[in-house]
Structure 1
Amino acid sequence: MKSAMVLGATGLVGRALVNLLLQDPRYQEITCLVRKPLARHQYNDPHNKLKPVVIDFNALQDYQGYFSVNHVYCCLGTTLKRAGSKAAFRRVDFEYVHIAAQLTRAQRADSFVWISSVGANANSRSFYLRVKGELENAIMRMSQLPYASAVRPSLLLGKRDDARTLEDIAKKTAPVWQALMKGPLKKYRPVHATDVARNMLALQRW
């Protein structure tokens, strides 16, 4: 039996992922590091596997012991609008995730899987994509991290607690996107959060 830890369990993908892990018989315990108490009704936990821990992400390194699991999943992420500044965005989407990867390595977990973005490129003119690309480079260059892998979704579909205009438009026009985006463009299709969560689970090292 395996144990897992999830960062970003309250987000769109994080919620879907935690529910998948709770139903997976290979896992006996799912630890979730969160900013505030979880809304238990959003998680199906019939076997009492869910172990939420409220932490201060600005002191993430102080919680190193929680990374003593088999698999670490990182679903942390925000938007420039929600973060309020480029510095705040980078703190969440680069610094927190990078520290999580370092703690995974320090505690010798078997693997680390995180959410990046389609088009991530350290040389991109887009600040968002540049940060995602810089993070990919930083993690993949880390020595002694046994196994690390990123999923690169496009616009996410699913029911959010907060409204996001682009994603709302993507939901309404999904049939058109599916028809037009074929071949090399297929990777840019909007994707459901549950499918991203399934991809993260499939990427883990067993």
Structure 2
Amino acid sequence: MKAVLLGATGATGKEVLELLLQDSNYDKVDIFVRRTVALQHDKLNVHVIDFDAPETWGHLVTGDVLYSCLGTTLKAAGSKEAQWKIDYDYQYEFAKRAQENGIPNYVLVSASNASPDSFFFYSKMKGKLEEAVKALGFPKIVIMRPPILVRENSERTMEVIGVKVLRFFNRLGLLRSQKPMETKRLAEAMIKSVQTLPQGEHTIEEQAILEV
């Protein structure tokens, strides 16, 4: 099998990439990045692209499954418009090209409480992306809505604080459905979902991800 990975340099994407390179089910792994990465592997093919020029790379999005882990923060992006471009526009364009090129499986990292009708910008953006990619008609689409993630060396201040707060309540036996999840556990579930879930649409919430 051949995997296509978007967001390979992020916390979850790095975990997905490492697992894919170790997985005997995959003999090729293509990643699409803005800048050259140092990692080399016999299975790995690195495409350094201009995300704003899909006409130059769209034909390269081919394989058996697209794993989409791309995302940023409002602080890193600098504005809501810039974050929308990365979290919505780029991901949708990749999904669209993948579907047009016949990739049958699509696995997307979304967010807890994602909803196109949400009052909150981030949740609304993620919800609108979910609706847009589902409309593309992949034979199998898996949308993961993880709880707050535990990222190694995270620079997301509010996320780090949130993890500490939730872990405190978890120790008291509270808010267990929102227990923080390590990015490696999410990555494992993403890859496993392609093998275990039947065709169709699957939206998997929080701790249910660990049961895939």
TM range (shorter): 0.7 to 0.9
Deviations along 1:96-124, one digit per CA (max 9) or x if unpaired, are 11111111111101211111000001111
- Who is 2:199 aligned against? none
Structure 1 residues 97, 187: closer, same or farther in 2, change over 3 A?
A: farther
Select the residue among 150, 158, 175 that pairs with 2:143. Answer: 150
- Who is 1:73 aligned against? 67
1:129-168 matched pairs, under 5 angstroms? 129-143=123-137, 145-160=138-153, 163-168=155-160
- Who is 2:210 aligned against? none
Structure 1 residues 176, 99: closer, same or farther in 2, change over 3 A?
A: same
- More deviation, 167-176/28-37: 167-176
1:34 and 1:187 map into 2 onto residues whose CA distance is: 34
Aligned letter for 2:7?
G
Deviations along 1:165-184, one digit per CA (max 9) or x if unpaired, are 123224545642433565xx
Structure 1 residues 70, 178: closer, same or farther in 2, change over 3 A?
A: same
Aligned letter for 1:69?
G
1:186 and 1:61 map into 2 onto residues whose CA distance is: 45
1:111 aligns with 2:105: yes
Select the residue among 173, 183, 189 that pairs with 1:199. Answer: 189
- Who is 1:33 aligned against? 32
1:157 and 1:189 map into 2 onto residues whose CA distance is: 10
Aligned letter for 1:55?
I
- Who is 1:12 aligned against? 11
RMSD (Å) for aligned C-alpha atoms? 1.9
Aligned letter for 2:159?
E
- Who is 1:24 aligned against? 23
**Aligned-residue offset at 1:142:** 2.0
- More deviation, 74-83/187-196: 187-196
1:26 and 1:132 map into 2 onto residues whose CA distance is: 30
Matched positions, count? 196
1:121 aligns with 2:115: yes
Residues 111 and 205 of structure 1 are in contact (CA less than 8 Å); yes or no, is this contact kept in structure 2? no
**Aligned-residue offset at 1:152:** 0.7
1:103 and 1:158 map into 2 onto residues whose CA distance is: 29
**Aligned-residue offset at 1:25:** 0.4
Specify every segment of 5 or more residues in structure 2 that has no aligned partner in the other structure, as ranges. 197-212
Aligned letter for 1:74?
S
Query: Partner of 1:124: helix, strand, or coil?
Result: coil
**Aligned-residue offset at 1:190:** 1.5
Aligned letter for 1:200?
M
2:115 and 2:173 map into 1 onto residues whose CA distance is: 21
Query: Partner of 2:53: helix, strand, or coil?
Result: helix
1:134 and 1:127 map into 2 onto residues whose CA distance is: 10
1:109 and 1:187 map into 2 onto residues whose CA distance is: 33
Query: Partner of 2:90: helix, strand, or coil?
Result: helix
